[in-house]
Structure 1
């Protein structure tokens, strides 16, 4: 099978999967849409059973009230990141109720250098882990092949460390950027998805204000969050609600236990520069990922390399004092 045939087959399979999630036929010629009632819900039943109460109205065909009307924002509109300092950047008014990352919007995570691909991918997985904790359904991941050549492929054990079940991922690798954008738009329109994640390499002319606005509008209608990872990208104008500039930070040394296994690596840590935040204010801080609680946390203080010893003599006296040395012999 040629490369063109494989590419066509993968796109056809993606169309079929999205159509199956939306509860419709994957062809242009299809029957009229059935009414979305409680007796005939849209989408696969396995994803609707565990849907939280705030999403039940949409699953039964009723329009949910937009955020800010008829009550405060709830988990259907916000995703708390677990760290008060970070969630405070999205604070609305004088209270933290409803603070957190906006769901149903486009969020852009960028790095100025491609060598920071590990830090960028790790922070993107952390955001997905927080979203998957409150939203049912699978995640559509659309990757540009050039980005995977730089940042690598997914690893099952690493995903589990972040609290992400690999079985919930639908991974699509596209050779053309046009196909990446098309997949992101189609995924952002599917309300049965928990989230959509895209990964591209470098600053691309096609990822402009028009293309990002199309994705953002579809995400707002379906309430599906879209995370766009951009390796080695410049500060270009887009329609993203937030833009996160990510760079790696030094991790705390692991705690070595005498009679138990321990982690050989420290917790992932990042320097975050939230340069755009249309739902709050920008900010700059350093955070790390807590694997045990599956949430963002404040970085712990580094351990001293030399803790000293009680068997050693007292340290040298302060400078500026004159001491007489006893001659040898």
Structure 2
């Protein structure tokens, strides 16, 4: 029998985002022989493919070999699972599959053609940075506080990389290294850095991707006290939107499906899609800033609670309730009644978010 090889070339960037833009381009199978006879693919799970990569890939070895013929879609799932478990492997930048009737080799491309010595040094830097953030997070008792700390830390110490976002190329800005070592990243870098630290903390977490109002995008989910929540660190960083100014936000911190899907759709080919239907640990709920219905008196009471901060953000459950609050406060003049709870104030400013149904009042 004639020996036959197949080459499947994939420019998949491991769910990497350049400018929050998914770059996935799989070139179909190319046969080197016209006389090929179709062979059976091995029955193997993405978890097994991932495990094989775990055992073989390192800062020096960029290939994974399997003594069986594996379907390219299963390899794609296995690679995605590997990246979800190993966000510190920042140098992986696509792969080529070489397969014959009895074996499969996955040859990974290296970001920026880094040498093994460069990768080793950079990996050590990444591990040290992640360990430092993990140690700081461990100072907090609850998982909620740890998640909140890491969310805020990443935003406070990372600049959104507009140059990388606009480059149309994969770069270090789309990795955990770019985020927590260089301090410059796009959404994939934010998400992978957060995932890496959650893995260190033993908190279940993952990265998902899809189409958003701002283009291709990546974000996280976490499991807290047995319930799943979404969070989008990039969009809570006002620097990620050139039209926004101000401090870090928590509008996308531990939100449910309904809130998330106001602004995006989720790619169906995710390894895992959680069902996020709880707001028990949502930031606004936890901080008594979620109003199920509008009331000028209750708004005033909440403003009094946050009088020392001279600012409060209040979230509403629906556009109807939110719109009632906006109109009543700033068109009908209820804001003056609410401010009577606070006492003296120098000036009043406010902003509204018609998507997340949040009113921010500075007084």
Structure-1-length-normalised TM-score: 0.24
Q: Which has the higher contact order (CA 8 A, sep 6+)?
A: 1
More helix by share: 2
Structure-2-length-normalised TM-score: 0.23
